């Protein structure tokens, strides 16, 4: 099919795409513990039907013991054609309290060219993008297609380990992860790096029980004060991560503006940004560290007492090139060494997830750049993602020959994981066209 035909086909199918998306958004497929398993299963079945409707006749559920099923399927391309694996996920984050939503989370509602609803962007837009790109070829794509739509991306995913234990079904020449977005609406963007994750749990115990701060305060170290002194050493005076031995590098893609960062992160007026290097460096090429949890008495009604025990969870984002497990060990070592006055503390190493950096000089990237240019009418940029997608690193390991492309319709205004999540319908249309063109160009 020619470029113009694909463009017309995508434009024509948008009402159908929208219907497909809305159908999926209506099912509350939250995968986190404590939520019912039935809606994810219903969504998986709806995804099977959707894939069948675009020509993936063998679309089916792959059951995963103790987890939500993954939807898989494939289409044979012409003899000798390369293989492209399309990945997205159908599970969603919990909606959070109703009050925050301007329209109900699971009732897709259009406002100003965007469809609002939990999962409208993350990542049901990715599911319909893949389906629509296949629909554009009327069931006869120019490449061999494998589809993997998982149901546990937002929770402890069984697929992460499955990929490493069963690499065969994931072999491909190109893997398209449809679960990111442009840095701004209509600014074509390839996400080429992901930071990894390194987590430590810190516990401090100094007294048998809470005791009166008037009678005992002074000589005895208060556990919370010990912990605070430790945590305060994680950043230096400039606001850079102070853990020694960590690697970082200089970012060479999109120069993410301070203004955009402030706006999308919601940094309050007057609050300075911290750390050194460009915003892109700090987001994608350097480590960052956050205390993500702290056990301490509630401030409201707090008694005048020394705190016997305190605990914190420290989470570090790790740039590509830095081994995540080594980073976790360095973090643990730093925390132990930072305990004041010789107080004994317990540091337990938690989760570690590898960072990822895509090779961007292969045929797949060439085809993707060309596809984006033709779909959007402008050159694409490369950006990193500060977060982690553990599956991507595992796919890179399991299918070392595959190029990995990350893109999609999750622009910053999509507010994924927040109230009023949404997808821009025009942006989705551009993404679908770009993906259809990618399949075409990659086959040539």
Residues noted as catalytic: 91, 153
Residues 163-202 that bind Zn ion (CB under 5 A): 179
Looking at the Cβ atoms of 149 and 335, the one nearer to Zn ion is: 149
In the structure encoding, which two tokens stand for residue 260, read together? 């955009």
* Shortest separation between residue 3's beta carbon and Zn ion, angstroms: 29
Residue 91 interacts with Zn ion (CB under 5 A): yes or no: no
Looking at the Cβ atoms of 126 and 287, the one nearer to Zn ion is: 126
* Shortest separation between residue 258's beta carbon and Zn ion, angstroms: 26
The distance from CA 66 to its chain's CA centroid, rounded to whole angstroms, is: 23
* Shortest separation between residue 389's beta carbon and Zn ion, angstroms: 8
Dist. CA 358–CA 395, nearest whole Å: 11
Single out the residue of 123, 281, 374, 427 in contact with Zn ion (rule: CB under 5 A). Answer: 123
In the structure encoding, which two tokens stand for residue 206, read together? 């100094």
Dist. CA 231–CA 338, nearest whole Å: 8
Single out the residue of 20, 91, 122, 374 in contact with Zn ion (rule: CB under 5 A). Answer: 122
Q: Quick one: which H or E segment has residue 278?
A: none
Q: What are the C-alpha distances in Å from 418 to residues 105, 147, 228, 289?
A: 10, 28, 29, 22
* Shortest separation between residue 93's beta carbon and Zn ion, angstroms: 9
Looking at the Cβ atoms of 194 and 230, the one nearer to Zn ion is: 194
Dist. CA 173–CA 144, nearest whole Å: 10
Go through 232-254 and write b for each residue having 16 or more CB atoms within 10 A of its CB, e for each that does not.
Answer: eebbeeeebbbbeebebbebebb
Interface stretch with Zn ion, choices 15-23, 114-122, 223-231, 305-313 (CB under 5 A): 114-122
* Shortest separation between residue 207's beta carbon and Zn ion, angstroms: 44
Interface stretch with Zn ion, choices 12-20, 50-58, 98-106, 121-129 (CB under 5 A): 121-129
Dist. CA 389–CA 405, nearest whole Å: 13
Dihedrals phi, psi of 385, to nearest 5 degrees? -125, 130
Looking at the Cβ atoms of 20 and 179, the one nearer to Zn ion is: 179
Total residues contacting Zn ion by CB under 5 A comes to 3
Looking at the Cβ atoms of 55 and 354, the one nearer to Zn ion is: 354
Residues at the contact surface with Zn ion, assessed by CB under 5 A: 122-123, 179
């Amino acid at each position: 099919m020619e470029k113009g035909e694909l463009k017309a086909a995508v434009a024509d199918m948008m009402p159908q795409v929208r219907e497909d998306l809305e159908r999926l958004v209506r099912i509350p497929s939250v995968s986190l513990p404590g939520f019912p398993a039935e809606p994810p299963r219903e969504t998986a079945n709806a995804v099977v039907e959707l894939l069948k409707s675009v020509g993936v006749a063998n679309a089916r559920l792959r059951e995963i013991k103790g987890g939500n099923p993954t939807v898989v399927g494939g289409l044979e391309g012409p003899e000798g054609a390369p293989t492209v694996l399309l990945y997205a996920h159908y599970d969603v984050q919990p909606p959070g309290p109703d009050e925050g939503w301007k329209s109900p989370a699971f009732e897709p509602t259009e406002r100003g060219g965007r469809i609002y609803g939990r999962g409208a962007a993350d990542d049901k837009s990715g599911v319909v993008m893949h389906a629509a790109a296949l629909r554009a070829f009327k069931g006869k794509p120019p490449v061999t297609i494998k589809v993997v739509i998982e149901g546990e991306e937002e929770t402890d995913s069984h697929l992460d380990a499955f990929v490493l234990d069963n690499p065969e079904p994931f072999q491909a020449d190109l893997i398209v992860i449809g679960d990111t977005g442009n840095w701004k609406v209509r600014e074509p963007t390839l996400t080429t790096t992901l930071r990894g994750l390194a987590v430590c749990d810190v516990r401090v115990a100094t007294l048998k029980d809470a005791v009166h701060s008037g009678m005992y305060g002074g000589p005895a170290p208060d556990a919370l004060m010990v912990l605070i002194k430790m945590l305060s050493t994680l950043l230096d005076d400039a606001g850079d991560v102070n853990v020694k031995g960590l690697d970082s590098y200089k970012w060479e893609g999109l120069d993410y503006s301070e203004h955009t960062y402030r706006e999308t992160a919601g940094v309050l007026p007057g609050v300075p940004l911290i750390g050194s290097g460009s915003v892109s460096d700090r987001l994608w090429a350097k480590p960052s560290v956050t205390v993500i949890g702290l056990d301490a008495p509630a401030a409201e009604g707090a008694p005048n007492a020394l705190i016997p025990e305190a605990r914190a969870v420290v989470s570090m984002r790790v740039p590509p090139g830095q081994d995540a497990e080594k980073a976790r060990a360095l973090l643990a070592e730093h925390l132990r060494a930072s305990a004041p006055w010789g107080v004994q503390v317990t540091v337990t190493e938690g989760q570690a997830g590898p960072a990822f950096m895509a090779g961007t000089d292969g045929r797949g990237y060439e085809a993707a750049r060309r596809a984006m240019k033709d779909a959007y009418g402008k050159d694409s940029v490369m950006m990193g993602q500060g977060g982690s997608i553990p599956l991507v690193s595992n796919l890179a390991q399991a299918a070392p020959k595959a190029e990995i492309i990350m893109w999609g319709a999750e622009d910053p205004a999509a507010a994924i994981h927040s109230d009023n999540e949404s997808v821009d319908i025009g942006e989705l249309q551009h993404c679908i066209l770009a993906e259809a063109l990618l399949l075409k160009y990659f086959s040539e």
